[in-house]
Chains A and B, each alone.
Chain A
């Protein structure tokens, strides 16, 4: 391996690492707020990437129908409790978020499919399809289990992953799809050949992270999420709704997953079930960060990016095995250096 290849691999590593870092952030947000290990995170990636590819092929993706059905299910589940409390305002809000919004999205998806060359509209519509799904997923699968053990939440997360993968296969078939690149730009920087797509990915990741930092640092919603993450009971006592925090964190995770999917879809061929492996690598990054620290999760994800990039150069067939095997010593080091007290353990 010479220096040029090393640099080229590093560029690849940073590009992938940036995506894993985004996913790791999403997993950390969801885990700290709801104790759910978000196994279906990968489905948000594939749903977004393949929905965009379908739009670019001039068709309305099946995810739109899923959004409408899931929204109706939420209304049906919410209605009895709201009716009992005679909370008509709440009912109207539920109809607005879960019926009108999906219909609006469906309309714009139809428009977007008729203009397949408009990249910006396609991206926006895709984000609008996937993001509300996060909140609906929380409401349908996890909200009834707010007091369940981490193990039960994990099992439900795996079941939701199965469910969503199954839908993915129906919507998109078994064929792999790619979207058109955001930029055909390529230029030399010294001996390094830089592609526009890597710049887009890294820049978009940085922008997303800055936006998240602003959300968490400056807005009352972000602060509510942070409060819930630090102490669920305490947050509840000061009037933060656990359900609201759960929906918000899941919607954020879906948004981040969708953005990641859109960013990588021009450089990687995605299949209906590819998302799982990608998010698993984000998970590894998050775990290196101990599932609670955002900066450490980001650093861990970059490490995963480098491991993957270099191992794909040496032995590409075993790329994934190598990543997961080399992670073990890192985990060992983490678990030996982290002082855990008994009271911290969630049972």
Chain B
């Protein structure tokens, strides 16, 4: 039974977040088989879903959850420094303008075409969010199978260390550097969705 420092009922109070946590359970636990706690049999919530996480949520046509990502400040404990420091062969990137992308989630209920569109809206939203908030670098821990797709978005992505097999998965740590040129690179790869078409919601759990 998992117990966290933060207040679960408050975290679950917001309907958009509730849908997101339910979608996360379907993707990360049911589909990908991650060994992470389930709350009330329905929600995937961990110790980093405290008041300081930021969530980017892509709604579907009915206003439900199509996709989401969680951003964690690198100036506080996050996934790479707390759980997978061995993936980082260089000085771990840390700073007020560096955030970690975690729980990148696409709802399972969509068809393949819709899922790609949601993915593109979410990636574009992450880039615009960085430019709007002075974030110059994103870090992240990714399963190696996603690396080709992540590179194909066209942003400036480099590894922070060699990939390592952990718990039956090949994992690697990455950094993605964002500049004013990044939207154009995404556009050249057929990924960029302009801000007014992303229809993204940015939330902070409180």
Do these two chains interact? Answer: no
Chain A residues near B (Cβ < 8 Å): none
